[in-house]
Amino acid sequence: MRIIKIFLILLFLGFSFIYLNYFSSFVMPWDRDEAIEAALSWGKLDKLPKDADITHMEKRGSIFTRQFIIEFTSSESEIKNWILKSKGFKGVEPEIKDGTKIYEIHPKNLESYGGRVKIKGNTVYINMSWS
């Protein structure tokens, strides 16, 4: 009976880990840097500004698709510099809605879908997908 309880506890822990790692929107601490790198590369975006403070991060998708959402704050001068350094913004005119600049970024020659970058003041919202 004790072996069955231990087996069930281990099974439960294993399924919980698999769920959190693959199916939940939570980004594990050890996956954080890779998630940021993937989202930036899918949009041909430069590395985040040095003073960037990530305020929100999540992942979505399944085995066949992946989407990363990153929200960070930084100084407006650093954000402008980041835009200038990022190849994904080249030739893309932002749509402006209620003071928010919305960039639709869909890089050619990449397997990623690309996505959207929203900038309002000193807050940047990156939403990149791969399918």
Query: In this structure, what token pair is assigned to residue 119?
Result: 């900038």
Quick one: which of 47, 113, 123, 44 has its CA closest to 82?
Answer: 47
Segment 14-63, tens digit of pLDDT: 777 766 656 555 566 667 788 888 889 999 999 999 999 999 998 887 77
Paired with 102 in beta bridges are: 95, 118
Task: For the chain, give the percent of residues with pLDDT over 70.
Answer: 90
pTM value is 0.80
Label residues 97-110 b or e (16+ Cβ within 10 Å = b).
eeeebebebebeee
